[in-house]
Amino acid sequence: MQSCKRATELMSQQLDRELKMNEKLSLRMHLMMCRHCRKCDEQFKVLHQLASSRSRQSETEQD
């Protein structure tokens, strides 16, 4: 099993780019085994959604 540190790096990267198949599989396996990283992944996704939403909101306010 990969380390939590590596899993966290992949979680962050998947928000910015498409992960390679081996990275996806490795991360998925780690998330099945590690509840702490599952929680971290959920938090990354929420923060990304909030940031995207805020960015879109700022763009419409500038128009």
Give the pLDDT score at 7: 96
Higher pLDDT pick, 63 / 4: 4
Predicted local distance difference test score (pLDDT) of residue 61:
67
Q: What is the DSSP string of 17-49?
A: SPPPHHHHHHHHHHHHH-HHHHHHHHHHHHHHH
Name the residue ranges covered by the structural domains of the chain.
4-62
Looking at per-residue pLDDT, the higher value among 47 and 53 belongs to: 47
Whether 37 and 4 have beta carbons less than 8 Å apart is answered as: yes
Task: Read off the pLDDT of residues 3-38 as tens digits, 9 standing for 90 and up.
Answer: 999 999 999 999 889 999 999 999 999 999 999 999
In the predicted structure, residue 42 carries a pLDDT above the cut 70: yes
How far apart are alpha carbons 18 and 5 in whole angstroms?
19
Burial class (CB in 10 A: 0-12, 13-18, 19+), 9: middle
